[in-house]
Amino acid sequence: MTGVVAGVLTVSLLAGCAQTKGDGKVETKGEEKTEIQGTEAVKKAEKPQLPLAETGKETLTIATMDNWFATKSYNDNLPVYEEFEKLTGVKIVWEAIPINDYDQVMGTRLASGKNLPDIFVIPWEANADQLGFDGIAMPLNQLMDENAYYLNQLMDKYPVVRSGITAADGNIYAYPGFGEGFINTAKELETGELTDPGANVCPNVSMIRKDWLDKLNLKVPETVDDWYNVLKAFKTQDPNGNGKADEIPLTATFNVRDIYRFGEAFGLYRSGNAECRWDVAEDGKVFFKDTTEAFKKTLEFLNKLYVEGLLDPEYATAGYDKTSEKISRDLLGSLSSDWMSNIATYNGNLKTAGVEDANWVAVKPIKNPEGKSMITNRWSVWKTAAISKDCKNPELAMKWLDFQTLSAQGVALTNFGVEDISYTKSDDGKITLTQDAVQNPDGIGAQEYLRSLGAWGQLPYPQAKEGYEVLWADQPEIIEFANSFTSDQIRQPFPNSGTKAALAFTDEENAIRTEVETNIETYCDEMAIKFIEGKESLDKFDEYVATVESYGLSQLLEVHQSAYDRFVAN
């Protein structure tokens, strides 16, 4: 069973949308149609002329969680945003709140609906669409059409972006931020000649100790049988060389569902960001992974690993700190799923611990039943920032957000920082980080240095492929790994569901999800562990499926199919 995200279809908006009430609030109605803002003919946005406003005459207030680099606050108007002020003529008044406090502080403020900033980053626990339904966030359809030149350019190239930010009522309530997958270089946004970046540079992949493989004269595994043989050798042939049978051949990094990556061998793919339980077949039908025959085969393989001691006994309680500790003790041979960016950290920690030849490397996804290795990109469109109902100049707010996020100058500032401070540009356009960035006297890494200037921040921005290539110029093997996949080996993920993500549900659909989804997911997770550890025979898999269905799976499938169909229609 293969999963793909279908292309965007040109069809009318489906029923099951929302009704706009006289007070500006929105309530979903199962079969009533909605009047979608911006459906009338509008003037399309033109490329903005700088400055966007007469210098010193216009101000925008922005509320956001503060900088990831905690000692440099946005409230101090960091160098990146000083440059934005010079370019746009717009002064930003920051209302930056410590990251751990933002959800509570901003959530309370949004709930009151009073004295709101012009622009606000949507709290993690807030539902971006609901803020629009409640009249807190403005509908942006027409504002985008008329003022977001760069976003329109991107949506013309990638219609999935519009799908990913459209609410169940057909309106858009948030300007998106982007992970990888949309922007190659900053320069392309100036020319408008956008090219497909291909596979993510920082994907979620399996990893393995290449130095252990070399010691045992083994190759990097490609098939599920290769993996079994390698893990068996790690268990029995003392690759860490301490004379003890203490090696842990395989574990999960973050959570139990990481190990389901072995489903790739049976045509069941990860979803890029996290182990989403949903995917869509080539015919456009959504399916629930945890009840498929491919999932049963995955569990059978994992049970074999567990019984033979090839899978970490603590896999079910995995967490980053616990996994990192085992890596640093030279015990772990492979990780089923982790972020590419962690390889340098793991190798560095081992070398600090005295393992000089330590060499963690990324492993291509296991070959599927057709003998093909398929990489799944991350879901990379997020409902990030909203324009509040109190904004006095929403047209300027939209133009500023759009310029900051997707202009060539904006992408350069948010990905590389400030020219001649954090990077230089050669005559042929090649970007190189400065010595202060790569060998900072304060001992901070390049990304932390860029964040101290305001780059790689909290407001919407795209993670350009060029940004990773510049940041990891000293790790060419990471770039080579991404570039090794041909276009027919790259899968797009099922659109994530969540408060900021793409798959939008109506109130009625969310009520069904609330009623049945938690019970189904909890039962599936409990049973999967029992199957893997042999506490329940896989001969009872059909009974397990029947139980899941009795919990309301058919309703949940219908809900996800409806939401996915709307996503495609948008």
Could you give the percent of the chain with pLDDT greater than 70?
91
Mean pLDDT across 89-118: 97
pLDDT at 555: 97
Burial class of residue 354, CB neighbours in 10 A (0-12, 13-18, 19+): exposed
pLDDT at 497: 65
Mean pLDDT across 408-422: 97
Beta-carbon contacts of residue 209 (< 8 Å; ≥ 6 apart): 239, 332, 333, 334, 358, 359, 360
Q: pLDDT at residue 10 above 60?
A: no
Sorting pLDDT into bands at 50, 70 and 90, what band is 503? confident
* E strands present in 251-402: 278-280, 286-288, 334-339, 360-363, 375-376, 381-387
pLDDT at 196: 92
Which tokens hold the place of 151?
A: 């976003």
pLDDT at 380: 87
pLDDT at 94: 98
Sorting pLDDT into bands at 50, 70 and 90, what band is 40? low
502 CB neighbour count, 10 Å cutoff: 27
Read off the DSSP letter of residue 441: T
pLDDT at 521: 94
The topology (CATH level 3) of 58-195+382-479 is D-Maltodextrin-Binding Protein; domain 2 (3.40.190)
**pLDDT tens sequence across 441-500:** 999 999 999 999 999 999 999 999 999 999 999 999 999 999 999 999 999 888 876 655
Q: 491 - beta bridge partners?
A: 376
> What is this structure's pTM?
0.87
Q: pLDDT at residue 19 above 50?
A: no
| Distances in whole angstroms, Cα of residue 483 to Cα of each of 117, 273, 486 | 42, 19, 8
pLDDT at 37: 61
Read off the DSSP letter of residue 166: B
Mean pLDDT across 326-333: 97
Q: pLDDT at residue 346 above 70?
A: yes
CA distance 295 to 291: 7
CA distance 113 to 250: 50
The helix (H) or strand (E) run that includes residue 219 is: none
Q: pLDDT at residue 183 above 80?
A: yes
Mean pLDDT across 146-171: 95
Which tokens hold the place of 271?
A: 């979803």
Residue by residue, what is the 3-state secondary structure of 102-164?
Answer: HHHHHHHHHHHCCCCCCEEECCCCCCHHHHHHCCCECCCHHHHHHHCHHHHHHHHHCHHHHHH
Q: What is the DSSP string of 449-479?
A: HHHHHT-S-SS--B--HHHHHHHTTT-HHHH
Q: pLDDT at residue 36 above 90?
A: no
Q: Domain spanning 204-376 has what CATH number?
A: 3.40.190.10
Which residue's structure tokens are 């039943």? 369
What average pLDDT does the chain have?
Answer: 90
pLDDT at 26: 35
Mean pLDDT across 33-60: 80
Q: With the C-alpha atoms ordered 87, 93, 98, 100, is the resulting torsion angle positive or negative?
A: negative
pLDDT at 274: 53
3-state secondary structure of 248: strand
pLDDT at 286: 95
3-state secondary structure of 423: strand
